[in-house]
Amino acid sequence: MKKILRNKNNRIFMIAAAVFLAAAVIGGVTMALNLARASSLTNTFSVGSVDTEIEENVNSEGTKEPYVKNTGESNCLVRMRATVSPEDAKVELEGFNELWLYNEGDGFYYYQGFVEPGKRTEVPLFTAYKLNGKADLSDFVPFQITLYQESIQTRAVDENGNSISAIDADGNYSAENAKRVWAVFDAQ
């Protein structure tokens, strides 16, 4: 009786081993075929370039008109800062345009629009400078007007993965979204 049970156990063991081996072979062949048929897919992404430069119309009679020109390949947002040094120079910048909104928090003037590739801001940041000293210039101090500008793409992705665009679906500028795009840039 023990011999019959032993033969029965051996037979069950052999059948189980054969089923396991067959499953392993079938699984291996299936995997090999799937790998052989797999092809690679290449996703091509291009990152737009934003390059800008300051263009100025300047003369010694007090005209100074700084614009920002987009020399890159993508629409961009721009901001500019203007400083006069030394601080005690009696020079006043005049003719600031309403399309440039001043932010006291960071000292930048934000252009209220976007600049297309090959174009410049529609209006200059300001149009002139004026000496505010004595008429005989006896209190004149040599001065320098320094312009600094930054530009970024009109799109950004916030910390939650949401895409933000300063240009709406109709191609119009969105001041509120532009603020959000700048906030993403400043948070980096």
pTM of the model: 0.72
Whole-number Cα distances in Å, 98 to 63, 89, 94, 111, 140: 18, 25, 12, 9, 30
pLDDT tens-place string over residues 125-146: 999 988 886 666 667 788 899 9
Mean predicted lDDT score pLDDT of the chain: 84
Please check whether residue 138 lies inside any domain of the structure: yes
In this predicted structure, what is the pLDDT of residue 9?
Answer: 62
> What residues contact residue 72 under an 8 Å CB cut-off, 6+ apart?
48, 49, 50, 51, 52, 117, 151
In this predicted structure, what is the pLDDT of residue 49?
Answer: 82
Exposed / middle / buried, residue 60 (Cβ in 10 Å: 0-12, 13-18, 19+)? exposed
Q: Which residue has the tokens 């601080």?
A: 87
Mean pLDDT, residues 68-76 taken together = 96
Q: Which of 58, 135, 54 is nearest to 93 (CA)?
A: 58
In this predicted structure, what is the pLDDT of residue 188?
Answer: 87
Please check whether residue 45 lies inside any domain of the structure: no
In this predicted structure, what is the pLDDT of residue 139?
Answer: 75
Residue 2 pLDDT grade (very low, low, confident, very high; cuts 50, 70, 90): low
The number of folded domains in the chain is 1
Please check whether residue 41 lies inside any domain of the structure: no
Please check whether residue 125 lies inside any domain of the structure: yes
In this predicted structure, what is the pLDDT of residue 3?
Answer: 57
Please check whether residue 137 lies inside any domain of the structure: yes
In this predicted structure, what is the pLDDT of residue 41?
Answer: 46
Domain housing 179? 52-187
Please check whether residue 152 lies inside any domain of the structure: yes
Residue 167 pLDDT grade (very low, low, confident, very high; cuts 50, 70, 90): very high
- Which of these ranges, 25-29, 63-67, 115-119, has the smallest mean pLDDT? 25-29
Give the Cα separation of 126 and 116 in Å (integer).
21
- Which of these ranges, 58-62, 80-84, 90-94, 102-106, has the smallest mean pLDDT? 58-62
Which has the higher per-residue pLDDT, 46 or 97?
A: 97
Q: Is the pLDDT of residue 5 over 60?
A: no
Please check whether residue 28 lies inside any domain of the structure: no
Q: Is the pLDDT of residue 21 over 70?
A: no
Amino acid at the residue 54: I
